[in-house]
């Protein structure tokens, strides 16, 4: 077991808005994770932070994929001067 010398800080960045799945758009925590943060052990906080990083990574990938889908659906660009 690792001894924490410093408090594990909340990943909150002050956005405090949720997506349609209930995860914060700023830190990617669920409502329960946000409400229980101060009660979590350091180990639980580390797990939540790991989950948040993965959620944010997947959200970024999803945005990239959706942008690629939009570009593909529009077909090739017509020549403006042709």
Residue 70 confidence (pLDDT): 53
Residue 74 confidence (pLDDT): 47
Count CB atoms within 10 A of the CB of residue 13. 10
The better pLDDT of the pair 21, 64 is held by 21
Tokens of 38: 């101060």
* Least reliable range by pLDDT among 26-40, 43-57, 61-75: 61-75
Mean pLDDT of the chain: 84
Inter-residue long-range contacts of 29-34, CB under 8 Å, 24+ positions, other chains counted: none
């Amino acid at each position: 077991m690792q001894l924490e010398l410093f408090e594990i800080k909340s990943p909150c960045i002050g956005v405090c808005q949720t997506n349609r799945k209930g995860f914060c758009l700023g830190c990617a925590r669920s409502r329960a994770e946000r409400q229980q943060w101060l009660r979590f052990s350091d180990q639980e906080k580390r797990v939540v932070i790991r989950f948040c990083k993965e959620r944010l990574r997947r959200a970024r990938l999803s945005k990239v994929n959706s942008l690629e889908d939009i570009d593909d659906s529009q077909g090739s660009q017509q020549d403006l001067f042709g």
